[in-house]
Amino acid sequence: MNDDEVITAVREQRDKVHSHTPVEEIISRGRTVRARRRIPGAVMGLAAVAAAGTALAFGLTGGHGAAPARSTGTIRTTAFTLVEHANGTATLTINPNVLLKPRTLQSDLRRGGIPAMVTTGRFCSSHPSPAGFRQVVTGQRSSPDTMTINPAAMPAGTELSFGYFKLSSGQETGQETVATLIDTNSYTCASTAPIVWPGEGHKMVVHGDIVATITTGGTRP
């Protein structure tokens, strides 16, 4: 049995299977899917309000021991600071000198009403990216580690994808945090940092629908 015979055998099996569901039935079901999506949009808005309220409550009670310190509308860890503003936006500041714990950032973002997926050594993106990223995330070139996030501008069925990479080249090290908007039903993940910044320093780079904060030029310990 050669390769062509194997391929032919597999394709012959495929050609024996037929779906008999009429397209009208699929479209009818699709209308139900659309209707279902409209409801979570409203619920997400309420959840954001509830989450802001929760953050306020945390601010009153304060933190203990190793738990992140919280003030009113603020979650502060050694790796990042997330500040929730009264207008519904949030400011995320990454500390480039501390290793990020993805699960902590992901759960804190979600608690703040920002659907997010945070990965280390991996970055997930949709092709094409959902529209509206520039309305959801804005950077401040004067403060390369800070991104402002507007969860109200996120289309239904999307979430923010953050990828965190440790960079190394010879004796030099650095880190890169990349963010984009993804379609939760359709995305792929890659283990390479999507933006390569050849220079040294501390930069915020906006490339298409991706924003990245990059720090390079540190010396390997």
Partner 1 sequence: MRYVHVGAQQLDFAEFYRESKDACLFAVLVSVGDRDVAQDLVDEAFARAWASWRSVSRHPAPAAWVVRTALNASISRWRKRRREVSLPDPGKVVTLAARQAGTGSRLDPRIMAALARLPARQRQVVTLRLLLDLETSRTAEVLGISPSAVKAHLARAIATLRTDLTTERQQEKSS
Tell me which stretch binds partner 1 (CB under 8 A): 26-34, 62-70, 112-120, 211-219.
Answer: 26-34
Residue 39 contacts partner 1 per CB under 8 A: no
**198, two tokens:** 């050849």
By CB under 8 A, what part of segment 122-161 binds partner 1?
127-128, 130, 157
Residue 195 is classified by DSSP as -
Q: Which is nearer to partner 1, 43 or 131 (CB)?
A: 131
Please state, in angstroms and rounded to a whole number, the distance separating the CA atoms of residues 138 and 140. Answer: 7
Please state, in angstroms and rounded to a whole number, the distance separating the CA atoms of residues 135 and 114. Answer: 14
Strands 116-120 and 158-169: parallel
**128, two tokens:** 């094409």
Residue 220 contacts partner 1 per CB under 8 A: no
Residue 196 contacts partner 1 per CB under 8 A: no
Please state, in angstroms and rounded to a whole number, the distance separating the CA atoms of residues 124 and 190. Answer: 6
Tell me which stretch binds partner 1 (CB under 8 A): 15-23, 56-64, 101-109, 141-149.
Answer: 15-23
Residues that bind partner 1 (CB under 8 A): 1-3, 6-7, 9-11, 13-21, 23, 25-27, 29-34, 37, 127-128, 130, 157, 183, 185-186, 188-190
